[in-house]
Amino acid sequence: LITCLSVCVLSAATFAETWTVDDDGLDFPKADYQDIQSAIDGAADGDEIIVYPGTYTNSTAISTVINTLGKALWLRSSDGAEVTIIDGEYLRRGIACVNDEGNSTIIDGFTITHGYADDECDFEEEYTGGGGVLIYASSPTFKNCIITSNTVSGEPLGIRNGFCNFAGIGGGVLIRGYVTNNSNSSFINCEISNNIADVYGGGISSWYSNNTFVLDNCLIQNNEA
């Protein structure tokens, strides 16, 4: 029985993979992907994605650079936030966690900047708000990140299509819960600065009474709503 259990544990551990991303191409250092979203698309729960220095965007996406797709991944930079940038190009938000991500979805060591969200329901899942980061009924963990110079625009719209009632909220980060699924996100060693919201929460907004979130050793400054 002990032998069988040991084999099962070792077999499960072998399924975890490490993937690399390099925006400069696949020559040196050799990487598996050139953009972060493709790496997430190809990864599975438990995998690690290492992103080399560079500026990463997603010109084919409608409203977000990165969607973590509900996967329990460790998405981390190799050299830190100062040199590894997720850039919304003032056209789309930086990161969306909207598929029931848990605390095992870890985003570690990125600058998330120039993100933009408006009051149009053009996001694939019809969620609005959160210029830099949108978290909906999910509980990801952000570590060692700089969330800066993101914008959310628009006026509160009320309920539209069941979802679109959060326009203009959460310039840097919007954390949204739901009646049956709240958010319990964590931000550790993060900076949230110089973000702008038209309505509420220039830096960070938590929008549901039963949400909880942790800010551990974070700097929040120079945000505006």
Q: Give DSSP secondary structure letters for 183-202.
A: -EEEEES-EEES-EESSB-S
pLDDT confidence of residue 153: 87
- Phi then psi dihedrals of residue 12, to 5 deg: -65, -40
Cα 115 from Cα 61, distance rounded (Å): 13
pLDDT of 162 higher than 80: no
* For residues 186-211, average pLDDT: 90
* 92 close to 60: Cβ distance less than 8 angstroms: no
- For 42, 85, 170, 179, the CA distances from 55, given in Å and listed in that order, are 20, 5, 23, 37
End-to-end CA gap in the chain: 61
pLDDT confidence of residue 113: 97
Question: How do residues 39-59 score in pLDDT, each as one tens digit?
Answer: 999 999 999 999 999 999 998
SS3 4: helix
